[in-house]
Amino acid sequence: DEIYYNEAYRDQYHFSVKEGWDNDPNGLVYFNGKYHLFFQFYDDIVWGPMHWAHATSTDLLHWENQPIALYPDANGAMFSGSIVADVNNTSGLFNDQEEGGLVAFIAVDGNGQRIKVAYSKDEGITWKKLDNIAIDWTEDPLQSVHFRDPKVFRWEGKWFMAIAGGPFRLYSSDNLIDWDLESTNADIYTECPDLYPIKASDGKIKWVLVGSKEFPGRKRFYKVGDFTKVDGKWTFVMDKDYEEDEGSTTFGKDSYATMTYYVQDFGTEANPTLPEILELNWMNSWEYSKILAETLHQDYAGTFSLNLKVGLIKEGDKYLLTESPIENYNKLRLNSKVQKWKNVKLTEDNTLLKDFKGELYEIIAKFHPSKRTKKIGFRLRTGSDEETLVYYDIENEKILIDRSKSGVILNEQFKDVDSMAMKLNEDGTLDMHIYVDRSSIELFTKDDTINAANQIFTKPTSLGASVLIEGEEATGDITIYPLKGIWNNE
């Protein structure tokens, strides 16, 4: 494994497919002390008849590749779906296993889309598909052939399944095999839906529905609300704030198909058992992923985001989703090489970081712009005409990421400057938390309610960073940790 990690554009602390193609994370589940990541896979450098590949980890940093889990069959390709740990054998599939086993819900794509069930008694290494289709799109009251990406969770002693790919539907089951319709919402149109409860900063339990879609608007979106019975049927009822507008945490191009890990039964309203919710995103875009491997002359295409921890904070009357890198990434810090500045004066011609030449690094910064500061942020991975800009435009109240000079440009869309409306913190400061890997940049700002992930394909000689400033008189606190990759120490 260590050898292939050395490739020119291979991220050094993000998981990526070893060879071939990957897109969405699938079947994320924590079981018997291990995290399982399954993902959309095809044995070529472009998308094709989908398989589920598999990798496992105990720390979400180091991953071990496992055999391909699911192959296409006579019914079609294995599109995205989820896995739960059936620890109480509600399915009756694990009579001979005390600790239960894994049950997968797969969207089978062929002549319309259907949900199939498979199970594994050996922690996801071998799978047996049940013969029957669990739910056929022809039974869908909305009659849409887009009937995919099932995500299953447990609440109030019942299993629930969110399905979309087109409009949003909710089903329920007692045994994971026979499913009944609960409700539909044709106004929510998305790929890869996910629905989970979370304790917000005000102590209330709220439900978050997340989705991904290519058009229109933001690629990843969320809505906050409640999961409750309406006319006797379980329904996701969104808060007023989210009825028309959707929320979005992310403005970069390379973040799609979010899925959260199944950890346990969420319990009941009266007695909730809410685990920490962790999520993963495909760090790529349908706008250019299919030309990526060929353009970069590599035999794989597909990387995942950092593992993120989800939170919900209340701002005024509104709940806002937060996504933060998990703490385990702190283990990558080369603490002896940290560089820190406190309350340092920043001018347009500053050379503060001129001696820093890192490739993999983390920046934690707090800026205090003055009345005359126009733009503030960083130039990342700079060298011979290359740089990636991450900065805040004070006049236009926008956060931006610009990779038009980030090295290999995959196509026109890849070059777009991505941005999002954002205000400075109430005290006039600006926070930035940035992770730089060999071929990607992830930014977290505004209390982690806003983030961006973008791949960059710079030369290996484009290293380090500098402070970007237009206008004068800013000050800042800046910490830079060089990071180690997961297979090497420096």
Q: Among residues 255 and 462, whose Cβ is nearest to ligand FRU?
A: 255
Considering only CA atoms, which of 101, 55, 47 is closest in space to residue 78?
Answer: 47
Under the criterion CB under 6 A, does residue 191 sit at the interface with ligand FRU?
yes
Cα–Cα distance for residue pair 319/313, rounded to 1 Å: 6
Q: Which of 16, 40, 255, 260 binds ligand FRU (CB under 6 A)?
A: 40
| Number of residues counted as binding ligand FRU (CB under 6 A) | 14
Cβ atoms of 266 and 272 within 8 Å: the answer is: yes
Under the criterion CB under 6 A, does residue 448 sit at the interface with ligand FRU?
no
Q: Among residues 203 and 216, whose Cβ is nearest to ligand FRU?
A: 216
Considering only CA atoms, which of 226, 189, 177, 182 is closest in space to residue 204?
Answer: 226
Instruction: Specify the residue for token string 């921890």.
Output: 309
Under the criterion CB under 6 A, does residue 25 sit at the interface with ligand FRU?
no
Q: 4 burial class (0-12, 13-18, 19+ CB within 10 angstroms)?
A: middle
Around Cβ 396, how many Cβ atoms within 10 Å? 11
Instruction: Specify the residue for token string 């949003």.
Output: 168
Considering only CA atoms, which of 39, 27, 36 is closest in space to residue 57?
Answer: 36
Under the criterion CB under 6 A, does residue 50 sit at the interface with ligand FRU?
yes
Q: Which of 11, 24, 323, 437 binds ligand FRU (CB under 6 A)?
A: 24
Q: Which of 165, 225, 358, 407 binds ligand FRU (CB under 6 A)?
A: 165
Under the criterion CB under 6 A, does residue 259 sit at the interface with ligand FRU?
no
Under the criterion CB under 6 A, does residue 167 sit at the interface with ligand FRU?
no
- The 3-state DSSP class for residue 291 equals helix
- Find the farthest-apart pair of alpha carbons in the chain and give their distance in angstroms, rounded: 71
Q: Among residues 118 and 192, whose Cβ is nearest to ligand FRU?
A: 192
Q: Which of 11, 24, 149, 194 is catalytic?
A: 24
Considering only CA atoms, which of 241, 393, 206 is closest in space to residue 317?
Answer: 241
Under the criterion CB under 6 A, does residue 148 sit at the interface with ligand FRU?
yes
CA atoms within 13 A on the CB side of 385: 3
Q: Among residues 258 and 373, whose Cβ is nearest to ligand FRU?
A: 258
Q: Which of 170, 188, 192, 380 binds ligand FRU (CB under 6 A)?
A: 192
State how far Cα 441 lies from the chain centre: 14
Under the criterion CB under 6 A, does residue 257 sit at the interface with ligand FRU?
yes
Q: Among residues 79 and 160, whose Cβ is nearest to ligand FRU?
A: 79
Q: How far is the CB of 190 from ligand FRU (least distance, A)?
A: 9
Identity (one letter) of the amino acid at 487? W
Q: Among residues 151 and 433, whose Cβ is nearest to ligand FRU?
A: 151
Whether residue 24 lies in the annotated active site? yes
Cα–Cα distance for residue pair 81/465, rounded to 1 Å: 40
Cα–Cα distance for residue pair 41/104, rounded to 1 Å: 16
Q: Among residues 76 and 165, whose Cβ is nearest to ligand FRU?
A: 165
Considering only CA atoms, which of 39, 33, 104, 90 is closest in space to residue 265?
Answer: 90
Q: Which of 16, 80, 172, 305 binds ligand FRU (CB under 6 A)?
A: 80
Under the criterion CB under 6 A, does residue 224 sit at the interface with ligand FRU?
no
Under the criterion CB under 6 A, does residue 183 sit at the interface with ligand FRU?
no
Under the criterion CB under 6 A, does residue 51 sit at the interface with ligand FRU?
no
Which residues are part of the catalytic machinery?
A: 24
Q: Which residues bind ligand FRU (CB under 6 A)?
A: 23-24, 40, 50, 79-80, 107, 148-149, 165, 191-192, 256-257
